[in-house]
Structure 1
Amino acid sequence: MTAAVEHFAAWLATPLGQYLRDSEAAWFDRTTVDIFGYKAMQLELPQLDCLRANRMPWRCIAGRAAGTQLKCVAEALPFAEQSLDLLVLPHTLDFASDPHAVLREAERVMMPEGRVLITGFNPWSLWGLRRLKANDVPWQGHFLALHRLKDWLALLDLQLVRGEFLCYRPPMQRKGWLDKSRFLEQAGDKLWPGGGGVYCLDVVKRVRGMNVIEPDWSQVVVPKRSAAAVVEKMRLQSEKDRCK
């Protein structure tokens, strides 16, 4: 996994890689800015700072690639159960040796109602077709089908809150062609909504049997004091004062 992630990180410096990095960075910025808690962690790919817009007091980039602050493997995170409020997986599943094990570990360390943000390559896109003719990074990644990933999430009680597709431009390395196909960003989202090269998932950890119990305010009876009762109380108090 380490070599593939490092090659992918180097690929982000190419014109196509910069296009992907900028698109995902904008999505992470607008998604993480309103997620609150105490501890947030990004797993792998330090070249893409996914937590820069988040305001949690403790933020960390972990993994095995160069530039990470905490060295660890994705399948065995050095954190206690239910200790993180936010976990970001930028293409981590695409290059993990066991993506399902990474998700199980993510579920273990997340707090109830904690959030997991996932980005991955969409096999049902022009980017997915490109991998049929290439075997280098990033095209040698897993390219997990979205329906398969949703099944894994459901088994782990990780509920999808919202999803979004990015990168509708063809996967070409020439910057000129990328600029000319800019119109596909809006057109693709309308004409081919599931055909973006990258999917972005905002997931929350649900805990079975956990319900937030609130008072039923409709059943609370508030005693009403009539004006006559108030006047009578004032009269009695006045008589007591005169007897002193």
Structure 2
Amino acid sequence: MSASFQQQLKRLFAQAPLNQVYADERVLIDQALNNVFGYFVLQIGCISDENLMLHSRVNVKVLLDSVYPAANLLNDGVQFVQADLDYLPIGKDKIDLFLLPHTLESADDPHYLLRQLDAMLLPEGHLVISGFNPQGCWVWRHRWFSRNPLFGRANLILPSQLQEWLRVLGYEIKRLDYTPIRCSSQPNNAGFWSRLLQRIERMCKALGFEFGNAYCLLAKKKVDAPTLVGRKWQMPRWQSISGSAVSRKVASAKRTQIKK
């Protein structure tokens, strides 16, 4: 997996007009992290010098990336692990929460990466995944009209496709949110075009279409109930009764054969 997409995106998110897209996406990430608990949260890759895990209630916050982060992140209580993102130094069933800000879009094989993360995630753990909506306004503008090479290198994934992958792995989709459309280079403009876009956005959502620039998905790893073994294991009562009844019938049949 190459981190070049995340690194270039980090520079663009710090500049206008994509800084507004980042601000919208940051709100969704904060909302997804707010009600998830645990001991370890691990963010893979970096798209900003800000602490994306600031509003997480998980105790230990760890950032893993191939490049050293800004000093303010380390001063903000974030622990850093420098590693090649193709070889994640994480054991099985160790992490309570993964934060993937545009991480899957940097992966050559995002489905394979998800399977690896699934093995590292604890049962009932969570994934928070953010990415660009391939049907979003900014992607259309920069991928097709301005011919921006950044989006050409990104492995953009439809949210519906991502949900299907996660369901196959046994995850429950807890929430999926989109940022506003914001096609204008002046997103805070309260003029005619801004109001028109808001109306179009509400109509699209009512019809089931989402054209927001970015999305944020929260998924929970579901596991089957464990089977008790050892001292706590007991034969169910109905099986015990059934077994006793069978034993009595066998004994009765033997007595009958002996009398004959």
Aligned CA distance change for structure 1 residues 185 and 113 (closer, same or farther; 3 Å):
farther
Q: Is the 8 A contact 1:84 1:111 kept in 2?
A: yes
- What code does the residue aligned with 1:152 have? W
Which runs of no fewer than 5 residues in structure 2 stay unpaired? 71-79, 228-260
Q: Is the 8 A contact 2:3 2:85 kept in 1?
A: no
State the secondary structure of the residue aligned to 1:191.
helix
Q: Determine which of 204, 222, 238 is the counterpart of 2:220.
A: 204
More off after superposition, 101-110 vs 136-145: 136-145
Q: Determine which of 165, 171, 174 is the counterpart of 1:152.
A: 165
Q: Is the 8 A contact 1:84 1:110 kept in 2?
A: yes
More helix by share: 2
- What code does the residue aligned with 1:178 have? P
Aligned CA distance change for structure 1 residues 94 and 201 (closer, same or farther; 3 Å):
same
Aligned CA distance change for structure 1 residues 144 and 46 (closer, same or farther; 3 Å):
closer
Deviations 1:137-176 (A, max 9, x none): 2453122112221221122112211111113101x5x4xx
Q: Is the 8 A contact 1:46 1:61 kept in 2?
A: no
Aligned partner of 1:30 in structure 2 is 31
TM-score of the two chains, using structure 1 as the length reference: 0.76
More off after superposition, 115-124 vs 184-193: 184-193
Aligned CA distance change for structure 1 residues 127 and 54 (closer, same or farther; 3 Å):
same
Aligned CA distance change for structure 1 residues 7 and 40 (closer, same or farther; 3 Å):
same
Q: Determine which of 182, 187, 202 is the counterpart of 1:178.
A: 187
What displacement does 1:210 show? 4.7
Aligned partner of 1:218 in structure 2 is none
Deviations 1:194-236 (A, max 9, x none): 111111101001113459xxxxxxxxxxxxxxxxxxxxxxxxx
Q: Determine which of 167, 177, 180 is the counterpart of 1:164.
A: 177
- How many residues end up aligned between the 2 structures? 207
Please, what is the CA RMSD of the aligned residues?
2.3
**Runs of 4+ that moved beyond 4 A:** 181-186
Q: Identity across aligned pairs (percent)?
A: 24
Aligned partner of 2:129 in structure 1 is 118
Q: Is the 8 A contact 2:13 2:21 kept in 1?
A: yes
Residues 1-244 of structure 1: matches in 2 within 5 Å? 1-45=2-46, 47=48, 48-67=50-69, 69-130=80-141, 131-133=143-145, 134-138=147-151, 140-170=153-183, 174=185, 177-180=186-189, 183=195, 187=199, 189-193=201-205, 194-210=210-226
More off after superposition, 201-210 vs 138-147: 138-147
- What code does the residue aligned with 2:52 have? C
Structure 2 CA distance for aligned equivalents of residues 138 and 41 of structure 1: 25
Q: Is the 8 A contact 1:165 1:199 kept in 2?
A: yes
State the secondary structure of the residue aligned to 1:41.
strand
Aligned CA distance change for structure 1 residues 188 and 44 (closer, same or farther; 3 Å):
farther
Structure 1 CA distance for aligned equivalents of residues 195 and 123 of structure 2: 41
State the secondary structure of the residue aligned to 2:69.
coil
State the secondary structure of the residue aligned to 2:17.
helix
More off after superposition, 82-91 vs 149-158: 149-158
Aligned CA distance change for structure 1 residues 26 and 183 (closer, same or farther; 3 Å):
farther
Q: Is the 8 A contact 1:75 1:101 kept in 2?
A: no
What displacement does 1:99 show? 1.1
Aligned partner of 2:257 in structure 1 is none
